[in-house]
Structure 1
Amino acid sequence: MCAGPVREWVDLGRQPVSNAFLKPEEVDSETFFRLAVGICADCTMVQQLEPMPTDNMFRADYPYRSSTSAGLRSHFEEVARQLRDTELTGVDDLVVEIGSNDGIMLHTLSAAGVRHLGVDPSAGAAAAAVARGVRVRVDFFDERSATEILATDGPAKVIFSANTVSHVADIDTVFRGVDRLLTPDGIFVFEDRYVSDIVEYAYFDQIYDEHFYLFAVRSVDAMVARLGFELVDVERIPIHGGSVRYTVARPGSRERRPSVARMVEEEARYGIGEHETYLRFGRQIERIRTDLVALLTDLRDAGRRVVGYGATSKSATVTNYCGIGPDLVPFICDTTPEKQGRLSPGAHIPVRPYAAFSDPYPDYALLLAWNHAEEIMAKERQFVEQGGRWILYVPHVRIV
């Protein structure tokens, strides 16, 4: 990042590609890496020490689809409306989204007649977006692709990205592309999980291969300044257990809002830039592992049936770090067709269609998609009415 020394604070062990849900015949060729995380002593950026190659993570068959969540659909519809009403007001303004996935955000802008382009390396996700009427370039976003987009579409008034910028270890390449493509008065807006919330609520499973960086306002402020930009606004948003929306512009082109300094001060009070804060977090992660494995083992030994709910990327960290396999959780149910009939990464727990959850209901459900807990629990009232109980593991292990 800034070439400062990075001090390790946790090692979550041997981990797989978090979204590589396997066919049974693919088990022997699975890719693993060491998931260790540190903090830069100079810029305080929290980052992995051994990145997984990007091509291994974001393949043509990348299975994640943002639109499967009603909460995310609502969120990105609002993002699109806000950008349309405040920034994309010119008749020919262009918005480019980095990591457009299945077009959940750009679909709203496309329907409003806004000139747009999504950039995503997953052919499968891009096809889903095209089916929604979204223009997509199947590619990684960097200086090369930005130059080609500039030649064909012209400069972008807005470049947007959600839960993607933190994925790129060589983040300089993204900002060189932004520099090439953005208009002089344009903005680069990106959303990502907030490390302060991750620490406060022990969301340790937010650490997986794709999340190479865990952003704080202070570290992002230093990062964008080093790369020739200015952080002009920040806003806390509730998705994914707590995220921040960062607005970046060319230096001097926009007024810097008081929210930036205010959040930097808050982080300092809570020790978000200090190595010891993360060492304590690492010890809390160890306690969660001990407690969760003990609970699942006791339930199994008592003849209780536990299934997983939500074959999320996060679940790869939980199952592999904790050593949870089919002996403790026989299967995980999930609504994503691309994951069904496959095995979970590393732990090789079968992933079954959503209908399997109620055929019949289990005694307990391990909620791996906890960031959608409110939506899921409202949907699954009958499970509880018939005696089912939820197992949650962040910020601590408990049955609800």
Structure 2
Amino acid sequence: MSQPVSMSGPRPGRCRVCDADVVEFLDLGAQPLSDAFLTPKDIGHEFFYRLAVGRCTGCTMVQLMEEVPRERMFHAEYPYHSSGSSVMREHFAATARRFLDTELAGTEDPFVVELGCNDGVMLKTVHEAGVRHLGFEPSGSVGRLAAESGVRVREAFFEESSAADLRRREGAADVIYAANTLCHIPYMDSVLRGVDALLAADGVFVFEDPYLGDIVERTSFDQIYDEHFFFFTARSVRAMARRAGLELVGVERLPVHGGEVRYTLARAGSRQPSPAVAELLAEEEARGLADPRTLDAFAERVARHRDELVALLRRLRAEGRTVAAYGATAKSATVTNYCGIGTESVSFVSDSTPAKQDRLSPGMHLPVVPPEVFAKARPDYALLFAWNHAEEIMRKEEDFAREGGRWILYVPEVRVV
């Protein structure tokens, strides 16, 4: 294994939102790039960094202690496809229809901009409605898929300069949207200045990302990996928005991806905040989400879950049971590397994404195989890395359970079902 490489931000230990001190509360050790699936010739040349998380003593924003350069994560071979799940396809189609029916209804020549449009799964519905749009997507491979479906794509990162250029060329955006993207971006100041440059006077900036409250409640520590730099709460988002002249005017809890919140920001004074904002802020206060003791307790549970999962896999191996894994997700890199799960515990990982198949998982080098191999091998147990799609996957793999196969889950607790 390569030695960890430290790639800190410009001021280590300082908040990337407000510049206050950031106090570390969880260290998940040396980790590889979560989506860097390898060929055999890549072994020995992997990039590693220290995956640690801290809490800002000022704005309370929870964030990684070290930044991985964005070009290492989002590039031409980026393998994640937003449309890979039927649940997510419907989620994004419904999101687009909601914009069309509410924010954009009655607007003359509306304009929708998406940060990190991936394969265009949301903007495709906007395009089919004949609405002017543009998706920023720095990862060329998925961006090309979006373009093939008719979506307008700019292969670039969204930041102040690219947003200002777009405003000059095409005017203000009525809706700026991002899904599972904003939490990826350490240079938040530039992004928010870009939003300020591009957003119409009465427009909205809507983004949805994993919610720290759900991560803490479910001990879903695998939501922490290189691509997730920030872990939002309503309180920290409100503080972040205010620094940019924006206001948090809406929040909505979402069940996707293991628990997310959709935040709606608008220019200060342009809209009345919904009652849901005050309600979620009060709930976070009652739960102590900004209390260091809450986060320390979370870190203790993470270590306990690691020990329980490792003990279970060792016991099954001692009993002669066969174990495979299901879902070569980005978050599985955190689990396998933090827990030291290699081929002595898990034979392979089944995944339906062609770009990941016949490769090795980051760090621990588990073979990634197509679902047909899983169907043929019929292991005794399957460790479900894609637990956020458990219902969809278990419905798809009914034959596995019917023939005696059992699922291993580790969120919200380590258990066999």
TM-score by length of 1: 0.99
What is the alpha-carbon distance in structure 1 between the residues aligned to residue 164 and residue 56 of structure 2?
32
Shift of 1:124: 0.3
| Equivalent-residue separation in structure 2 for 1:136 and 1:360 (angstroms) | 41
2:233 aligned partner, one-letter code: A
Counterpart of 1:125 in structure 2 is 142
- 1:34 aligns to 2:50 (yes or no): yes
- How far apart are the structure 2 equivalents of 1:72 and 1:381? 21
User: Which string of whole-angstrom CA distances, capped at 9 and with x for unpartnered residues, describes residues 80-135 of structure 1?
Assistant: 00000111222411100000000010011111111111101000000111111111
2:7 alignment partner in structure 1 = none
Distance 1:297 1:131 in 2: 47
1:92 equivalent in structure 2: 109
RMSD of Structure 2 on Structure 1 (CA): 0.8
Shift of 1:360: 2.4
Q: Please show how residues 1-400 of structure 1 align to structure 2 within 5 Å.
A: 1-89=17-105, 90-400=107-417
Contact kept, 8 Å, 1:88 with 1:114, in 2: the verdict is no
The whole-number CA distance in structure 2 between the counterparts of 1:354 and 1:114 is 38
Aligned-partner residue type, residue 165 of structure 1: L
Specify the SS of the correspondent of 1:191.
strand
Deviations 1:317-364 (A, max 9, x none): 000000001111111010101111111111111111121110121110
Aligned residue type for 2:318: D
Identity score, percent: 56
The one-letter code matched in structure 1 to 2:222 is D
Q: Displacement of 1:24 after TM fit?
A: 1.3
- Distance in 1, matches of 2:39 and 2:169, equals 40
- Output the CA distance in 2 between the equivalents of 1:375 and 1:153: 41
State the partner residue of 2:5. none
| CA distance in structure 1 between the partners assigned to 2:362 and 2:127 by the alignment | 35
SS of the counterpart of 1:160? strand
Distance 1:91 1:127 in 2: 29
Task: Give the aligned residue type for 1:234.
Answer: V
Q: Indicate the larger mover: 165-174 or 144-153.
A: 144-153
Q: Name the count of aligned residue pairs.
A: 400
> Cα distance, 1:265 vs. partner?
0.6
Query: For residue 173 of structure 1, what is the amino acid of its counterpart?
Result: S
Q: Tell me, what secondary structure is at the counterpart of 2:377? A: coil
Amino acid at match of 1:293: V
Tell whether the 8 Å contact from 1:193 to 1:240 is kept in structure 2 after alignment.
yes
2:120 partner letter: G
Cα distance in 1 between the residues matched to 2:195 and 2:240: 14
| Distance in 2 separating the partners of 1:97 and 1:340 | 29
Structure 2 gaps of 5+ residues are 1-16
Give the letter aligned to residue 364 of structure 2.
A
Answer yes or no: is the 8 Å Cα contact 1:230–1:250 preserved in 2. yes
CA displacement, residues 148-175 of structure 1 (integer Å, 9 cap, x when unaligned): 2123222111000001001111111111
CA deviations 1:199-237 (Å, max 9, x no partner) are 001110000011111000001000110122111111111
- Equivalent-residue separation in structure 1 for 2:93 and 2:108 (angstroms): 20
Q: Which amino acid in 2 is paired with 1:310?
A: G
Structure 1: 5+ residue runs without aligned partners? none
Shift in Å at residue 185 of structure 1? 0.8
Report the Cα distance in structure 2 between the residues aligned to 1:196 and 1:73, rounded to whole angstroms. Answer: 25
Cα deviation, 1:24-54, whole Å, max 9, x if unaligned, reads: 1112221111001011112111111111111
Please state whether the residue corresponding to 1:28 is helix, strand or coil.
Answer: coil
